[in-house]
Structure 1
């Protein structure tokens, strides 16, 4: 059996190739196992692309979507739905039905009983403070709980009564009996069940004891027939416990845990706890705020799913921890949008231009390509009259030769239209320009002037009488520092210009802009219609600028 070469080679693929070559496995089975306690972020996208990508690339391979839902205090059905949407949007399909660790609660309980019966687990009554004290430190061994050697029958009875709800939270727990002197703190008789009277989004109030993640995860993998359990490096010291649990219960499947480096991205938080704090403290407008590194936030901002997949493939899979430049992600987004986003014109900071020698009763319908390099996209119609809007930054009363836009007394070309010359400015009482009076050359539509003069500058515009008003949300990175996670107070490193709102105009053809559909607003950047947008109030998010404004 050979690998289908659609993904780049890496050490995990090498392991899989060897396992298939030696016959250890006839096919592979992976899983993506998020805890439904928040929205997925760009770091999860790396794991999604890895696990589901392997299932795409290898013959007869499968990848499960499983929710590791063992902590009802932090989990919610809304997160479950959001995660499913994110995985599907990224372009992946899970094998069969969605799985939940809670599906296996009865089996997990039975395996816990089995550990007790084999003197591999016991009910402990130390409180939280005592448990920490007995656990020891990184430089000193722990000491045995006074309940460690209680009779098997007694632990079985207490564990059954824990399940029946006879004891208060925190009064008892089930611990694995391993080694209190182990140099690996995870192996010092870890807690595998605790009492928690909480409503569960899947099982309701059926259970009042819940298994811990480290006990649940490996057994869930084994029940589902997972061959390669892929996780990030912070779980490396969990692996001995993963293997110990499977070795000490009567389960046939023994998945192999393999760790890879997590995605660390500049100017970005990838801690669900810290991202949740941004939402709770209303620093952002929810999990799908376009400044958030969540998949839903990136989707709302206009990031194409293909660009995120491309980014995850480019950064690769290694064991080496590193921090990836945010510019690398943005470059993938630009490449995709440059090739696929239709063009349009929008004026974000408008100033009116009056073309004085244009017939005031006349309106033309000019034609422009939807994409300069892709004729298959067709053309669009641009209304043109004697009054237009241009961007305020595209005019100066005086400027040097490097300024290639409109200057008083000089000419510039309107994109897909005529050459105009600025003749006069009209100002209000405070000296602000309210109108620019120009003249146009009717012989210059789509070509340079016939008298040999050269017009180098080109600016965009929108007709002043045939347009749609729009709100523009100009998004930038949320933090000013490359490693916001290291800040004691993230509010101190927030970028005050992470969101700037402008009001202007777009081409009439964007009146029915579809939410999330991408457009390149010529000379402005890549934008998409926001969730808040409708035909009565158009709202566009800037996905990314035309070039990296932070470079250098």
Structure 2
């Protein structure tokens, strides 16, 4: 059966499950959720989960919640809550109803813990951390029961109440589920479901000094919200056993159409780390300039670098949804942003490594205004004005005193066309004491303005330029991969694979229209690449442009 929206994206195993559940009548409406922990910034791996959960809800005319699984107040912060909401909205999605928090359910979670205690399925354990690890066993050896495992229901209820009242120290005891210490799955060996933390919570303040563990909270929160399909990445596959055990033993949720979890492969991208811990290490050691450093894989960094929501969504669509772990080529992501910007980014001219050109037969003191399209294929985007005068800047790489026929730029005694302007001919040049060219003297043909010269002269080379008296100085941050290894997660030492050329700063000039460049909005700097004004450091008085993506791929490795 074809369901509404099913043709929008290629099918996958999750969509097949949803189709079967709708066909069988198990569910009549799809309800998903995106459940981040507010303990850091989202990265492009989370973008895949966002696009999957919200995309499925859209395609099936269902609902998708944004819920913060906020069970660890020591590592969480309201600033992360706000940044995550902004990231979801930037990607083009909106959640159903109000933002939700697992902390909204702390009273209910507490009662469900009491229910397990009353059923003899949870107990307060006083083993310390080292003892708990020792009792848990290993992958090859089963664990052994805690000496507190057979404490009576009445005593466990009293002890848990003392935990709630703050009568025990942090780490002195914890509430554990009574499952199976001989299970081949470590997560099933009597996992902790409540621990003591004397920490203020960003939503509940100091109401609680005991906090539920993630595995206990996550599945119950899904069930409370009537989530039909709980979509998680593969590292939570074993945890599903804990989730199912908990819901199987709670009266409110032991029913055929309750929440079920399905796992998909996480995103692994070349030259990129996805571990929050490792990313945090890069920030803490100042290897990068914060979580939004454009070399980071965070959504905040992608925005700062000029990536578009449409390009990220397209990338997530192309990589698909499977259960197979693989390393996605970074070229696929670059292709998505490049295709988007090629179609939509306005054009401008910037000279990153300027060298002066003097047009000797152009009138001194005169500056004329030329017209150039904002985009070569979209007339509706209008035109921009370009000052043109006797003195210009071109890129130093666009001039040689001598060159073979394959070189299509400016050469002494040869002609080249200035983009959207005239044909010029290089006559001579000045050099400094080290032999570096400082000034190129040219002549221009006033009859060659535009793309169709009146004399029919064919000039193969076209170079970009900026008129000197109106040029605006700018800083250009040229970004490359942060790592030289395509799989940095497998490296023994991150320090050994840091790319020393991951950020190269150039100082040049841009056309005056770019004084009004909007932060995060990418432009194609003709013949250079796609750049956007930095959302932190750039201003009309101090222009700073970040490289979004080159016109073609080059990799550090």
- Which residue, out of 518, 525, 529, partners 1:525? 529
Q: Which residue of 2 aligns with 1:542?
A: 547
Shift of 1:453: 4.7
- Which residue, out of 439, 459, 465, partners 1:461? 465
Q: Which residue of 2 aligns with 1:489?
A: 493
Give 3-state SS (helix, strand or coil) of 2:236's partner.
Answer: helix
Shift of 1:194: 0.8
- Which residue, out of 295, 302, 307, partners 2:299? 295
C-alpha distance 546-159 of structure 1, shift in aligned 2 (>3 A)? same
Deviations 1:25-71 (A, max 9, x none): 01011000011111000100000000000111112x10000111111
Shift of 1:451: 5.5
Q: Which residue of 1 aligns with 2:420?
A: 416
Q: Give TM-score, length-normalised by structure 1.
A: 0.98
Residues 43 and 262 of structure 1 are in contact (CA less than 8 Å); yes or no, is this contact kept in structure 2?
yes
Equivalent residues in 2 for 1:351-362 (5 A)? Answer: 351-362=355-366
Runs of 5+ in structure 1 lacking a partner? Answer: none
Shift of 1:430: 2.4
Distance (whole Å) between structure 1 residues aligned to residue 391 and residue 229 of structure 2: 65
CA-based RMSD of the aligned residues comes to 1.3
Q: Give TM-score, length-normalised by structure 2.
A: 0.97
- Which residue, out of 466, 473, 480, partners 1:476? 480
Q: Which residue of 1 aligns with 2:442?
A: 438
Runs of 5+ in structure 2 lacking a partner? Answer: none
Question: Relative to structure 2, which stretch is displaced further, 440-449 or 417-426?
Answer: 440-449
Distance (whole Å) between structure 2 residues aligned to residue 338 and residue 69 of structure 1: 41
Shift of 1:448: 5.6
Residues 484 and 556 of structure 2 are in contact (CA less than 8 Å); yes or no, is this contact kept in structure 1?
no
How many residue pairs were aligned? 551
Deviations 1:239-264 (A, max 9, x none): 11110100111223620000000000
Distance (whole Å) between structure 1 residues aligned to residue 96 and residue 171 of structure 2: 38
Deviations 1:85-142 (A, max 9, x none): 1000000000111111111111101000000000010011111111111111111111
Distance (whole Å) between structure 2 residues aligned to residue 440 and residue 63 of structure 1: 62
Q: Which residue of 1 aligns with 2:312?
A: 308
Deviations 1:151-181 (A, max 9, x none): 1010000000001001111110100011111
Shift of 1:550: 3.2
Shift of 1:467: 2.1
Residues 420 and 451 of structure 2 are in contact (CA less than 8 Å); yes or no, is this contact kept in structure 1?
no
Give 3-state SS (helix, strand or coil) of 1:17's partner.
Answer: helix
Distance (whole Å) between structure 1 residues aligned to residue 208 and residue 251 of structure 2: 24
- Which residue, out of 57, 60, 81, partners 1:58? 60
Distance (whole Å) between structure 1 residues aligned to residue 275 and residue 552 of structure 2: 28
Q: Which residue of 1 aligns with 2:118?
A: 117
- Which residue, out of 427, 432, 441, partners 1:428? 432
- Which residue, out of 9, 12, 26, partners 2:11? 9
Q: Which residue of 2 aligns with 1:240?
A: 241
Give 3-state SS (helix, strand or coil) of 1:443's partner.
Answer: helix
Residues 3 and 17 of structure 1 are in contact (CA less than 8 Å); yes or no, is this contact kept in structure 2?
no
Residues 415 and 458 of structure 1 are in contact (CA less than 8 Å); yes or no, is this contact kept in structure 2?
yes
- Which residue, out of 270, 273, 277, partners 2:277? 273
Distance (whole Å) between structure 2 residues aligned to residue 78 and residue 361 of structure 1: 54
Residues 32 and 51 of structure 1 are in contact (CA less than 8 Å); yes or no, is this contact kept in structure 2?
yes
Residues 127 and 171 of structure 1 are in contact (CA less than 8 Å); yes or no, is this contact kept in structure 2?
yes
Residues 32 and 57 of structure 2 are in contact (CA less than 8 Å); yes or no, is this contact kept in structure 1?
yes
Give 3-state SS (helix, strand or coil) of 2:416's partner.
Answer: strand
Shift of 1:361: 2.5
Q: Which residue of 1 aligns with 2:128?
A: 127
Give 3-state SS (helix, strand or coil) of 1:527's partner.
Answer: strand
Give 3-state SS (helix, strand or coil) of 1:115's partner.
Answer: helix
- Which residue, out of 49, 52, 55, partners 2:51? 49
Distance (whole Å) between structure 1 residues aligned to residue 412 and residue 382 of structure 2: 36
Deviations 1:202-260 (A, max 9, x none): 11111111111110000000111101000001111111111010011122362000000
Q: Which residue of 1 aligns with 2:405?
A: 401
Residues 347 and 526 of structure 2 are in contact (CA less than 8 Å); yes or no, is this contact kept in structure 1?
yes
Distance (whole Å) between structure 1 residues aligned to residue 415 and residue 260 of structure 2: 69
